[in-house]
Chains A and B, each alone.
Chain A
Amino acid sequence: MGTVLRYIVDDIAKDLKQVFDDKIVQQSQIAYWVLMVANRLKSQHIAKRDSGAYMHTFSKIPILTHPSVSNPDEVNNRKYILLPESIYDYNNDGGIEYISYYVEDDRLSCLPPFTRQTFTRTTPSTAQRLYYTEDEKPSPSNPYFYRTGSHLYFLGIEFIDACYVEIGIYNTLDPVDKIDIDSELDFPDELLIILKRQVLDLGRFTLMLPQERVNDGSDDAARKGVPTNKLVSVNELSEDTPNNK
């Protein structure tokens, strides 16, 4: 499990000297920065590694139908589920690892139910072609799903009474208004140092804004410009650059 979010936030707050009563940066803002950077680093981490560490399974997700049309995304009488959490938007809906029918695992000697029939990903525009070959045609034994927003619509199960599915997803971290600061952050510990550095950079820039930019009702003739960091190209840092050798 990961480090507690409060430890990360308080560590950064202390480094930025924002632990006194009239602090400029509140705890919630540092947490927002942490989640913003952590989501990016975590999505890169998952994309690089074939690991189940950050995949989460949600069972017994009810299959629903909309009784009427409501834009956007809600089409009536089409079977769907709602994504239980927000997911990383990888190529080809890679944020969804699998979807299968949900059946209680009551007989341990049998093949686990979720491995028997998984849903294959498609898109609305390519779905038409599937119906022209028997091997690919959507059916209860060969079901498909496609994603529109937070809806996952199904093809092939229109005429059966499937009630639930199981889904494995790579979900994003909860937003700042939902996450518990005392919960463990679902984030790889080995990337904490990069996370901290990037958040400190964000905070440092904020704290470098001079007081003259703050509207406190007073005027100061000696205005200073906003300090900026020198941007260094990665090429300049490369060992191939003659000046860097």
Chain B
Amino acid sequence: MRIVLHLLRKEFLQVFRNKGMLPIIFVAPVMQLLILVHAADFEVRNVHLIVSDMDGSSTSRGLIARFNASDRFHVDRIIGGFPEGMAAIDAGDADALLRIPAGFEADLRRKAHGDLMLDLNGVDGQFASLVLVYARAIIASEQVHIAQHMISGSRAPAPPVEVIPRFWYNLQMNYKNLMVPGLLVVLVTLVAMFLSSMNIVREKEIGTIEQLNVTPIKKWQFILGKLLPFWFIALFLLAFGLLIGKLAFDIPIEGNVLVLFAFAAIYLWVVLGVGLFISTISDTQQQGMFVSWFFLVIFVLLSGLFTSIDNMPHWAQKITWFNPVSYFVEVVRMVLLKGSGPAQIAKQFGIITLFAVVVNGLAVLNYRKRA
């Protein structure tokens, strides 16, 4: 045990001696969290809508006013029709074009029916479908207004079925509540994986690994001494990030933080083990970092952080079973947002523990005390 302590001391000295790395390890991730939470946001705001109002009636003006009143839409009116509107979408000045045809109000009066046309820039599919959801909601609420004011009561009955939506766990529909915990997971994973994957290979590259190999240090002592410092750093980063999330973004903490840290403690061994494994198969730091970058990108894309795993095809969902990041993203959201307890995350606990044992076993087996 004393040998491990000496090794720990050496590693900590090396980490804290490097004045260039310290701010990168601690300050950069926090800055990222503060800044990127505002960026990593699928919430739809500031939609540039252009309206081509060929009707010019009080009804069409009422509809435009309702779009204007919504904080999601910036409305610009244009004189022309479809060609001018599409030109604006082509140039990227507008996201959507709403066309109100001439005779819209008259049709509503005579036939109790009017048509609207909405052209959307579909390059970003999710953005477009959310714009459609919001635009339909605004038009639907204006429709109730039109029915009350224009059409006599007998012809516009109240809807027979009233739908009452309830949004749980996130009443303000605040996207940050979802993204802060998820981004925190990614940042902690990133730091832990890069530091561990570049560590042993660095000793190889500089040549100091040979000196370590001729000492009586045992394999497990060496690896424990290598990984423990990063384990502490990553856990500290998680605590620090949670604190900032609470102070800066007031993210909800419904569940028990201790459950979260217990999970993180095991999860980090998986990440460090993967980093260690990469480190043992690499010859240079550049290789180590590119290979870990490769795995991280795939892990993060398939983690359900940005796009829900439920939307993926079945074969991709099966791949996510082997993705440790997806379990932590899931657990962090369950514990923080919904207050899930140990009983509800027992399955994830079991799987991640199994991963930790397998990955570290492989890494230790693969590490040979040879140059």
Tell me, yes or no, whether A binds B.
Answer: no
Q: Which residues of A pack against B, CB within 8 Å?
A: none
